[in-house]
């Protein structure tokens, strides 16, 4: 899909040759970067076990992090059979903030550090922490406002979701295992959807 998007960007002249080269280089480095994340999953396993009995887990993201948050929530529902919701950080005050109690796990996908949205997401994190949430932050840089920090390699903003989803998949997998679920055959989950 990325390659198709790059070709469209090239044909429409919305991407420069240099931008395309940078993204292609990052695409070629993805396997090594995913491996780098997977080598650091042990602390992630320990963190996940702490939330075994949580009633809900909320996911927050902005811009390209929002669909990543939705994917994280979906994976948690599918494998761990627990309530999880993904929200856009900009919508936090329009309902989702009311769901936060003391100890509610919130997983936040931080935008790139040089992004204008990083400051806004930082503000979202402070808001949920002020209400007692336990915050796990997925970020490509150090972030002192997190209770738990999961580092991912620094990449362009368009590639960040590919790497940010890896720890979310590990969280869903580990949560399913710790709750005693069969991760190889999740209940009520089909490989394809057929509409009659």
Radius of gyration of the chain, Cα coordinates, nearest whole angstrom:
17
Per-residue pLDDT of the chain (196 residues; tens, 9 = 90+): 888 988 898 899 998 899 889 889 999 999 999 999 998 888 888 888 889 889 899 999 999 999 999 999 999 999 999 999 999 999 988 888 888 999 999 999 998 777 788 889 999 999 999 999 999 999 998 888 889 999 999 988 888 999 999 999 999 999 999 999 988 888 877 766 666 6
**14 and 46 fall within a common domain:** no
State the CATH number of the domain containing residue 108: 3.40.50.10490
Structure tokens at 25: 């280089």
pTM, to two decimals:
0.89
Q: If you write DSSP's letter for every residue of 129-144 in order, what string do you get?
A: HHTT-EEEEEESS--T
Pick the closest to residue 141 from 108, 112, 115 (CA basis): 112
Unique residue bearing structure tokens 């627990």: 82
Domain range holding 28?
Answer: 2-33
**14 and 88 fall within a common domain:** no
Predicted pLDDT of residue 18? 92
Tell me how far apart the alpha carbons of residues 137 and 72 are, in angstroms, rounded to a whole number: 13
Predicted pLDDT of residue 145? 85
């Amino acid at each position: 899909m990325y390659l198709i998007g790059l070709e469209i960007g090239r044909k429409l002249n919305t991407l420069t040759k240099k931008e395309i080269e940078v993204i292609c280089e990052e695409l070629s480095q993805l396997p090594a970067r995913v491996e780098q994340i997977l080598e650091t999953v042990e602390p992630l396993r320990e963190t996940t076990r702490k939330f075994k009995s949580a009633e809900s887990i909320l996911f927050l993201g902005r811009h390209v992090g929002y669909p990543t948050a939705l994917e994280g929530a979906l994976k948690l529902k599918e494998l761990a059979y627990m309530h999880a919701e993904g929200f856009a950080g900009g919508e936090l005050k329009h309902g989702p903030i009311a769901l936060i109690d003391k100890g509610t796990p919130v997983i936040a996908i931080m935008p790139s550090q040089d992004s204008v949205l990083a400051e806004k997401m930082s503000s979202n994190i402070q808001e949920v922490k002020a209400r007692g949430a336990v915050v796990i932050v997925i970020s490509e840089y150090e972030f002192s406002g997190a209770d738990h920090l999961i580092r991912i390699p620094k990449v362009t903003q368009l590639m960040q979701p590919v790497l940010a989803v890896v720890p979310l998949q590990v969280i869903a997998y580990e949560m399913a295992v710790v709750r005693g679920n069969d991760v190889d055959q999740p209940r009520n989950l089909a490989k394809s959807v057929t509409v009659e």
